[in-house]
């Protein structure tokens, strides 16, 4: 019998204070998470908190860079923040068996020259504090508080596992037009919008690349039955990589098309499937349902589940899709509801709210309960725009 | 004139969910017919709401509507009488006792192989089960394969009776390994369903 492989670490809980449009968030995260809420409720902002942690440790990243990239502390701080204006992010990292193997916490504010500085940084391992800042050295030299220990190899030795884990977080929101016109994003590396997507595929070893494209090609046939083959080739003059697909039609040989001719849905699905196969860390997805047929969307949660039972990879995704939420296998604790209020958006799992729990227990589908709950208050007013 | 090749009868259908569609397709194909467009797939209550519309469509072409009996009535005939009083001439309205899972359970040998469990664990009379879905989940719990257990059985705290990829695994089984002919020997409702389809095909000829 095969031995049980150790599942990778995942984010097991997220705590935010004054982060963008959230005053306070305290939520457990399962291996698969669906974020549901009206437009501008902060689904992307919640995912961005995870990206922020990734940016702390990314190549060319770091605390200062991560804050500046987001427009500075004043842009990051919740408008509803009042008495305790520090921005704080705390995550638990672990597994089902040991959900709090690690915790990492950082809080920060800005000085009177609008520079971000760290108010607090704390790491625990199995409940024991390893790092707690500000420490004596920080008191002696306040300049040190412009960098986290997390991002410094000299300082993070005892919790390198946390830093290595956060590096594996990946965010994806494929914009098909950027794949078709890579010139728009020249020089970007691991662009979440797909600008260097074809380069990413080309960078993998030939064996892996072929195996993955074959798997993706097989899966794609479900959504795009006329697609017979999928391959990568390089333009011999410019050296740029291109995807091409062979389409069956009345000519016996079929016809090859490149990514420029692929439909939006095909490109998004290729991007999604590639991202799922590429990497092991938490994958953050923005509305994977975009441009896809509802019958395809409906099977996304099942596909995620099957990938996860093999690899243990965490997938966090925002969605507006009734079809996606219709899946009976989605656990009540896997759905996170975002509801805007005057005091910032409130966040809870579907099961934490008694009115939601009552409806779900009565047998209504997740879609039937959650979509009406998170609908904008006056959606019908939009029709009046037409005059 | 050359005699035309007999082309197969195409059924339209409406079902509760994606698993039912696959099961239905296998059954219809085993009778030599073809399953055309499949409607519904958004749960039982929606299907019941549309039932009389599908029935009206069955005045013109052959239709199948497949529903789970669940705990809604004591037996299929009384549920049938309550849900749809007059059947259109080309309507095949079928109720699986108690759920379509019992038809899958009726092919014990294939299911045991698929789930990696001993065949003796699978009940011999699937139609007598009060909740075949629960039975299937509990059988998956005994699977020798970790991935199957994780995918088909619910995680504590999920609040669901089934696991995250239960549907997908069931579809995989129905599509690749389930034998409708074998199963119909052990399930009365499936056997009668098959003969009704054969009868409708005969009417088309």
Tell me the pLDDT tens digit for each residue of A112-160.
888 999 999 999 999 999 999 999 999 999 999 999 999 999 999 999 9
Q: Which of A305, A361, A365 sits opposite B151 (nearest CB)?
A: A305
pLDDT 10s digits, A281-321:
999 999 999 988 888 899 999 999 999 988 899 999 999 89
Cβ contact, residue pair A299, B146, below 8 Å = no
List A residues 246-285 in contact with B (Cβ-Cβ < 8 A).
Answer: none
| Residues A81-93 pLDDT 10s | 776 789 999 999 9
Task: Grade residue B63 by pLDDT with cuts at 50, 70 and 90.
Answer: very high
Please indicate whether, in this complex, the C-beta atoms of A4 and B146 are within 8 angstroms of each other: yes
- pLDDT tens by residue, A44-83: 999 999 999 999 999 889 999 999 999 999 899 988 777 6
B154:A326 CB<8 A? no
Whether residue A334 lies within 8 A of chain B, CB to CB, comes out as yes
Cβ within 8 Å, pair B151-A298: no
pLDDT on residue A124: 97
- Cβ contacts (< 8 Å) between B157 and chain A: which residues? 331, 333
Residues of A in contact with B101 (CB under 8 A): none
Q: Would the CB atoms of A302 and B167 count as touching at under 8 Å?
A: yes
Residue-wise pLDDT tens digits, B173-198: 999 999 999 999 999 999 999 999 99
Residue A29 distance to chain B (closest CA, Å): 12
Query: Using one digit for the tens of pLDDT, what is the confidence trace for A173-198?
Result: 878 877 787 676 667 777 888 778 88
Per this entry, what is the length of chain B? 205
Q: Identify the residue with better confidence: A250 or B50.
A: B50
Q: Which residue in B42, B159, B163 is closest to A326 by CB distance?
A: B42
B33, B201 Cβ separation under 8 angstroms = yes
Chains A & B: contacts with CB separation below 8 Å: 67
Inter-chain CB proximity A351 and B144 less than 8 Å:
no
Q: Which of B83 and A375 is assigned the larger pLDDT?
A: B83
Residue B146 with chain A: CB contacts under 8 Å: 4, 309
Domain boundaries, chain A: 170-277
pLDDT of residue A175: 80
B164, B168, B170, B172, best to mutate vs chain A, most A CBs in 10 Å: B164
Q: Which residues of B touch A332 (CB under 8 A)?
A: 158-160
**What pLDDT is stored for residue A2 in this prediction?**
41
CB contact under 8 Å between A332 and B147, yes or no, is no
pLDDT, average across residues A375-387: 79
Nearest residue of chain B to residue A296 (CA atoms): B18
Q: What is the mean pLDDT of chain A?
A: 87
Which chain B residues have a beta carbon less than 8 Å from that of A334? 158
Residue A152: its pLDDT value, please? Answer: 94
Is A28 in the B-facing interface, judged by CB distances under 8 Å?
no
The mean pLDDT of chain B is: 91
Q: What is the average per-residue pLDDT within B151-161?
A: 91
Residue with tokens 């929101």: A173
- Tens of pLDDT along B165-174? 999 999 999 9
Interface membership of A313 toward B (CB under 8 Å): no
Chain B nearest CA to A48, separation (Å) = 26
Between A1, A302, A360, which is nearest B165 by CB? A302
Cα within 13 Å of Cα(A56), Cβ side: 27
pTM, entire model: 0.90
Output the pLDDT for position B5.
Answer: 47
Q: Does A309 reach chain B within 8 Å, measured CB to CB?
A: yes
Looking at the predicted structure, is the pLDDT value of residue A374 above 50? yes
* Chain B residue closest in CA terms to A324: B42
Q: Which residues of B touch A306 (CB under 8 A)?
A: 147, 151, 165, 168
User: Can you give the pLDDT at residue B6?
Assistant: 67
So what's the ipTM on this one?
0.89
pLDDT of B152 above 80:
yes
Distance from CA of A207 to the nearest CA of B (A): 26
Decide if B43 and A4 are in contact by the 8 Å CB cutoff: no
Percentage of residues in chain A having pLDDT higher than 70 = 96
Cα three-residue angle A212-A216-A220, rounded to 5 degrees: 170
Q: How confident is the model at residue B162 (pLDDT cuts 50, 70, 90)?
A: very high
Q: Identify the pLDDT of residue B205.
A: 67
pLDDT of residue B179: 97
Residues of chain B with Cβ-Cβ distance to A308 below 8 Å are 164
The answer, yes or no, to whether residue A4 has pLDDT greater than 60, is no
Q: Which residue has the higher pLDDT, A233 or A156?
A: A156
């Amino acid at each position: 019998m095969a031995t049980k492989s150790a599942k990778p670490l995942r984010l097991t809980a997220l705590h935010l204070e004054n982060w963008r449009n959230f005053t306070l968030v305290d939520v457990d995260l399962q291996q698969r998470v669906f974020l549901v809420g009206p437009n501008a409720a902060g689904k992307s902002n919640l995912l961005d908190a995870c990206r922020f942690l990734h940016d702390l440790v990314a190549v060319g990243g770091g605390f200062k860079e991560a804050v500046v990239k987001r427009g500075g502390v004043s842009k990051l701080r919740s408008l509803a923040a009042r008495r305790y204006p520090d921005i704080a992010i705390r995550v638990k990292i672990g597994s089902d068996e040991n959900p709090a193997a690690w915790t990492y916490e950082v809080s920060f504010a800005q000085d009177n020259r609008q520079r971000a500085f760290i108010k607090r940084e704390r790491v625990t391992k199995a409940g024991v504090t390893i790092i707690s800042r500000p420490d004596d050295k920080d008191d002696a030299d306040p300049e040190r508080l412009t960098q986290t220990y997390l991002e410094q190899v000299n300082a993070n030795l005892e919790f390198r596992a946390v830093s290595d884990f956060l590096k594996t977080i990946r965010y994806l929101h494929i914009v098909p037009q950027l794949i078709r016109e890579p010139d728009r994003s020249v020089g970007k590396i691991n662009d979440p919008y797909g600008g260097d997507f074809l380069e990413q595929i080309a960078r993998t070893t030939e064996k892996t690349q072929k195996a993955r494209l074959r798997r993706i090609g097989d899966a794609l046939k479900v959504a795009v039955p006329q697609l017979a083959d999928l391959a990568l080739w390089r333009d011999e003059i410019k050296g740029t990589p291109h995807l091409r697909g062979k389409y069956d039609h009345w000519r016996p040989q079929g016809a090859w098309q490149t990514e420029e001719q692929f439909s939006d849905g095909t490109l998004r699905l290729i991007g999604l499937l590639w991202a799922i196969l590429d990497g092991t860390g938490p994958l953050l997805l923005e509305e994977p349902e975009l441009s896809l047929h509802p019958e395809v969307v409906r099977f996304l949660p099942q596909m995620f589940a099957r990938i996860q039972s093999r690899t243990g990879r965490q997938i966090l995704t925002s969605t507006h899709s009734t079809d996606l939420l219709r899946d009976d296998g989605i656990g009540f604790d896997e759905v996170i509801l975002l509801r805007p209020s005057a005091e910032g958006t409130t966040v809870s799992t579907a099961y934490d709210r008694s009115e939601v729990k009552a409806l779900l227990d009565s047998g209504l589908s997740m879609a039937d309960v959650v979509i009406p709950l998170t609908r904008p208050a006056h959606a019908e007013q939009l029709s009046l725009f037409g005059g | 004139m050359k005699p035309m090749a007999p082309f197969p009868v195409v059924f339209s259908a409406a079902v509760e969910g994606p698993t039912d569609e696959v099961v239905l397709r296998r059954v219809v194909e085993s009778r030599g017919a073809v399953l055309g467009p499949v409607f519904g797939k958004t749960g039982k209550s929606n299907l019941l709401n549309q039932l009389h519309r599908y029935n009206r469509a069955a005045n013109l072409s052959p239709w199948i509507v497949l529903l789970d009996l669940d705990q809604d009535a004591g037996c299929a005939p009384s549920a049938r009488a309550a849900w749809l009083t007059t059947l259109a001439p080309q309507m095949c309205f079928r109720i699986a006792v108690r759920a379509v899972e019992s038809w899958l359970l009726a092919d014990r040998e294939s299911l045991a192989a698929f789930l990696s469990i001993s065949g003796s664990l699978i009940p011999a009379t699937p139609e007598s089960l009060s909740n075949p879905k629960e039975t299937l989940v509990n059988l998956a719990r005994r699977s020798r394969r970790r991935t199957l257990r994780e995918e088909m059985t619910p995680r504590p705290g999920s609040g669901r009776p089934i696991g995250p990829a239960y549907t997908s695994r069931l579809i995989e089984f129905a599509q690749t390994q389930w034998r409708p002919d074998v199963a119909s020997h052990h399930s009365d409702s499936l056997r009668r369903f098959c003969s009704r389809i054969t009868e409708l095909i005969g009417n088309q000829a």
